[in-house]
C-alpha cells in the first residue's frame, strides 16, 4: 500500500506543487530478507518513471514502513 501527500504554494497567483512525499507500507512474511527490501527501496526512485519525469522540478521524498505478518 502507498499514500502520497503534496505541498502546494501560490506563485504569481498560480498554484504550484512544490513537494511530494510518498509513504509505502509493505507487508512481509516472517523471515523475509530485510536487507534486500531496504536495498530495493533505496534504489527505486531513479528507476521510477514519475520520479524521472518530475523529480527535477518537484522535491520528492519517500518513507517505508515494513510490517511483518
pTM to 2 decimal places? 0.83
Q: Name the residue range of residue 8's domain.
A: 2-68
Please, what is the average pLDDT of the chain? 95
pLDDT at 10: 97
Q: Total domain count for the chain? A: 1
Query: 41: closest CA among 63, 22, 60, 19?
Result: 63
Q: What is the pLDDT of residue 1?
A: 85
Q: What percent of the chain has pLDDT over 90?
A: 96
C-alpha–C-alpha distance, residues 30 and 67, integer Å: 9
Amino acid at each position: 500500500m502507498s499514500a502520497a501527500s503534496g505541498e502546494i504554494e501560490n506563485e504569481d497567483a498560480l498554484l504550484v506543487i512544490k513537494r511530494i512525499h510518498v509513504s509505502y507500507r509493505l507487508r512481509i512474511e516472517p523471515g523475509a530478507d530485510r536487507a534486500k527490501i531496504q536495498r530495493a527501496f533505496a534504489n527505486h526512485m531513479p528507476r521510477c518513471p514519475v520520479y524521472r519525469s518530475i523529480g527535477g522540478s518537484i522535491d520528492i521524498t519517500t518513507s517505508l514502513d515494513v510490517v511483518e505478518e
